[in-house]
Structure 1
Amino acid sequence: MSQSPAQDSIERQDALQQDEKTVVSADVHVPQPEDGPSSLVTRSRQSLSDVFTIFAAGFALISDGYQNNLMTMTNVLLKKEYPKEYTSTVSTRVSNALLVGEVLGQIVIGWTCDYLGRKWAIVITTLMIVIGGILATASNGYTIDGMFWMMTVARGVIGFGTGGEYPASSISASEAANERSLKNRGPTFILVTNLPLSFGGPFAVIVFLIVYSACQQSHLSTVWRVCFGIGCIWPLTVFYFRIRMLNSVLYRRGAIKKSVPYWLVLKYYWKTLVGTCGAWFLYDFVTFPNGVFSGTIISSVVSDSSILKTAEWQLLLGALQLPGVFIGAWLCDRLGRKQTMMLGFSGYLIFGLIIGCAYDKITHIVPLFVVFYGLMQSSGNLGPGDMLGLLSSESYATAVRGQCYGISAALGKTGAAVGTQAFTPIQNNLGKRWTFIIGAICGVAGILVTYFFIPNVTGEDLKFNDEKFRAYLVANGWDGQMGEGDLQAIAAEGIPPAITEDNLENKKEKE
């Protein structure tokens, strides 16, 4: 009779706890979380830092969602203000600037998270978002084309910051939730990461509608500049808490700051990396261009294609995406992370085919079109939107969590850039229905990648993954240092022979 993921998790934890007891009986001390965070940090201070880290991550990621979706209505606005200058080429360039910056930010900040610590990585990302937002607000030039080039560069700087937030905020929130709420780590992580990111879509439209109405549906230049400027506020509101935060206990015990054995890391995690990178590429290939160009799509199917009417339909579309986040958070522990992700990709298949095959008829019934469009996006949130960040934060050891998370997210944004670049040519050459049919095909590919490459991760304590990874490194001859400050130690210290032998046996079986 098959066991549930929760039962498997309990058995694995019991086995590892038995190994820890063996260590103690052998008079070898392995530092445990029960010993307290550190001789230099009190338990109450670390606990308070974990709470603020979780909430600051959620509040800051609203700005990421806001920036990711800001161009949805801005594209419509700029097209009306500059009909000749704001061509599809310029629109794609400005939209892709954010993606290119995000790819660079995810890789660089992912590396920074592991080498310099979670705190400084988060401070850097906050500053980049604010600086880029100021530059975007002040976009100008001797010509209109020059102004768009400045906007492109500014959006790239913002992208570096928002891209860096993915590994920096997400893994910090995961590690803090591991200490504060282990049993509810999965739902907690989703509600402070993907929920604010997804809420950024309707939030950006709400801000746009308020500003657009305040400007009496005119003064279009003022509207987009104010919307860009408002994006600077959210990261600044939590900047103080980010400066005061502490690195997690997991990081201060498990960081590798010198001589990272990348070959061993690759041998240990290659399959998982293929899964998280591949699934993230497919997810962003579909969801990002459908988000960026949804305003343009809606304006092309509504009879009254005014900016105000388009924004109202866009707000409904954004609101329909949110239920998927909550359903995914509810299912992640009950159904399992891997199974929930496959369920979400199935939504791409079902709703993508419905919209694509019936496109000519369904677009004449705008409410029905928007509802099915929203359900397709909501299923993405339910599955890969919720699970990819969670799995990428749980599947990798603390020592390389930032880098592996960053690489996975960067491949995702590469998929977003490819999808954004290919979106208009697909519409022009194959027809608008094919953007949805290709989304359905990506849903099938996502199910296969998830099934074959994504590990069936459960909600067990992240410290156990760290110990297994450490034992694997030691068993393969690595003898570097792990941790920082007063928690730094040689990796081999406290490794019980039983665990090392188990790792060697597992290695032999795999070979």
Structure 2
Amino acid sequence: MSTSGENNSKVLDALDVAKTQMYHFTAIIIAGMGFFTDAYDLFCISLVTKMLGRIYYTHEGATKPGSLPPNVSAAVNGVAFCGTLSGQLFFGWLGDKLGRKKVYGMTLMLMCISSIASGLSFGKEPKAVMATLCFFRFWLGFGIGGDYPLSATIMSEYANKKTRGAFIAAVFAMQGFGILAGGVFAMIISLAFDSSFKAPAYEVDPIKSTVPQADFVWRIILIFGALPALLTYYWRMKMPETARYTALVAKNAQQAAADMSKVMNVELQSGQRNADQTMDAKESNKFGLFSKEFLHRHGLHLLGTSSTWFLLDIAFYSQNLFQKDIFSVIGWIPEAKSMNSIHEVFVIARAQTLIALCSTVPGYWFTVALIDIVGRFAIQLMGFFMMTVFMFAIAIPYNHWTHPDNRIGFVVMYSLTFFFANFGPNATTFVVPAEIFPARFRSTCHGISAASGKLGAIVGAFGFLYLAQNKDPSKTDAGYPAGIGVKNSLLLLGGINFLGMLFTFFVPESNGKSLEEMSRENEESNRDVNIA
């Protein structure tokens, strides 16, 4: 047993001290394009939600002609998150059972097919179109869900311990470019189809302002999400299995060394695989997932990663999904009757693009630059704290910020909450679960943590979209007063961010430590050698 343990140790030590080289950056692009696609697909729906209402719910008898009913809006926005949660659990588990590489291509192909199918949603009645769209977006989310644990785990297992945090964070930072690309592409398509590109003064019902080309616009925007995934499918299939999975889970140190030598310039030495490795597998796999030993070693860690991701995603996805409502309140998005439906998509996309460009994307890359210097814990704690401060700073004097003279200040404050989400827990909650659990559970535990986050996103998508639409009971008119529901939402989100700050104390610092040191697998290996 000692021979195989020593061979594994040589392979892992070589990976920990390997110099940063071209293949590391190649892996970031290959894995990162999955997240680029994930973000595009998840957030592009919020760009076309209002258009869907104007196309399919302008008939007489609609509760609010030209708008999706609250239950339909929540379903269209949130069903992908339900699929994502399921995919994170399933593919996370499968990645530990079959290997990272074998599962990696399945998720990408499922995303491609579902993106195209979403844009081709069909039906004679509005309800049928929405039901078809929700069905395909569920499976789109299912594929996206698999990308979370697999991309994080693959990148963590390829990286050296000195720059591992930056590499994993860089993969996740591609999400910012995906959000940005969604806004830019929607603007381009809007410009292409809105020939006059003026905001006609349609002081009439929404039916007259919904132009025939609108049905093409939302479909093209959704279908485009398949393109970046297709472009990286071939390269994903060429990636070798990670050396850590092969050495620690498959128990083949020789193959691990051979695989890494093909793609990285590192000196890996290993002896011949011997029969004792079968016994070594049994020795090192002494405890299972959720056994007493696992809960003793990693129970609080899993609670910390899951709870912080859950609380973070309630706030983060709620902000993204109802930001169009906030922009309407402050006047960035005029009333629907003042412009046609395609121009409305342009205006919403422009607002999202500005937020992404000025706060979302910079926040991600601040994390990439500083995570291996400052550490994960400090960045996450600081991010939750600043999000709490800015949420309350917006919500408490809400009437002040929505006054026409103060709208620019409102947008700046709102943007800063996005900046500190991404230069904070939105990045670190993705990084840490890929570093602190044993290799044989790493993908599964990351999937559980990520699924907890998507449960939070579902709470945000369904619960907060309703809360933001609550009517003031003191009013008797048909419409609700602007901002009443949004203010309550922001106050509650501030409290949720504060809870996230508290639960961060359950999450260990992994900066500068090897994966085996954090997961305590080196203790198991040493024990095996001593037994031998």
* Preserved CA contact (<8 Å) 1:107 1:410: yes
Distance 1:329 1:471 in 2: 30
1:329-351 C-alpha deviation (Å, 9 max, x unpaired): 23322322111100000111111
- Choose from 303, 306, 314 the match for 1:274: 303
Distance 1:315 1:339 in 2: 29
Partner of 1:394: 435
* Preserved CA contact (<8 Å) 1:93 1:152: yes
Per the TM alignment, residue 33 of structure 1 is displaced from its structure 2 partner at its CA by 5.7
Per the TM alignment, residue 289 of structure 1 is displaced from its structure 2 partner at its CA by 1.6
Aligned residue identity for 1:121: V
Aligned residue identity for 2:165: G
Per the TM alignment, residue 300 of structure 1 is displaced from its structure 2 partner at its CA by 3.3
1:282-304 C-alpha deviation (Å, 9 max, x unpaired): 00001102101212321232163
Q: Are residue 461 (structure 1) and residue 514 (structure 2) matched?
A: yes
Per the TM alignment, residue 202 of structure 1 is displaced from its structure 2 partner at its CA by 1.9
Distance 1:316 1:50 in 2: 31
- Choose from 495, 503, 508 the match for 2:529: 495
Give the percent of matched residue pairs that are identical in Structure 1 and Structure 2.
26
Superposed, 1:367-382 pairs within 5 Å as 367-382=408-423
1:51-74 C-alpha deviation (Å, 9 max, x unpaired): 543320012210011012111211
Distance 2:107 2:467 in 1: 34
* Preserved CA contact (<8 Å) 1:131 1:157: no
Q: 1:123 to 1:221 in 2, by over 3 A?
A: same
1:110-139 C-alpha deviation (Å, 9 max, x unpaired): 001101111122111011101111210110
Q: Are residue 314 (structure 1) and residue 352 (structure 2) matched?
A: yes
- Choose from 152, 173, 187 the match for 2:134: 152
Per the TM alignment, residue 50 of structure 1 is displaced from its structure 2 partner at its CA by 5.6
Q: Are residue 432 (structure 1) and residue 486 (structure 2) matched?
A: yes
* Preserved CA contact (<8 Å) 2:33 2:232: yes
Aligned residue identity for 2:388: L
Distance 2:433 2:500 in 1: 16
* Preserved CA contact (<8 Å) 1:133 1:229: yes
**Secondary structure class of the residue paired with 2:181:** helix
Q: 1:338 to 1:29 in 2, by over 3 A?
A: closer
- Choose from 342, 349, 359 the match for 2:381: 342
Superposed, 1:26-425 pairs within 5 Å as 30-32=6-8, 34=10, 52-84=26-58, 86-178=68-160, 182-193=161-172, 195-216=173-194, 218=211, 219-255=213-249, 261-262=288-289, 263=291, 264-302=293-331, 304-305=334-335, 306=339, 307=344, 308-319=346-357, 320-364=359-403, 365-425=406-466
Partner of 1:18: none
**Secondary structure class of the residue paired with 1:325:** helix
Q: 1:114 to 1:36 in 2, by over 3 A?
A: closer
**Secondary structure class of the residue paired with 2:6:** coil
**Secondary structure class of the residue paired with 1:407:** helix
1:116-163 C-alpha deviation (Å, 9 max, x unpaired): 111122111011101111210110112111011000001001000111
* Preserved CA contact (<8 Å) 2:327 2:351: yes
* Preserved CA contact (<8 Å) 1:348 1:442: no
How many residue pairs get aligned? The number is: 443
Q: TM-score, normalised by structure 1?
A: 0.81
Distance 1:460 1:285 in 2: 30
Q: 1:54 to 1:326 in 2, by over 3 A?
A: closer
Partner of 2:269: none
Per the TM alignment, residue 32 of structure 1 is displaced from its structure 2 partner at its CA by 4.3
Q: TM-score, normalised by structure 2?
A: 0.78
CA RMSD for the aligned pairs? 2.6
Q: 1:312 to 1:134 in 2, by over 3 A?
A: closer
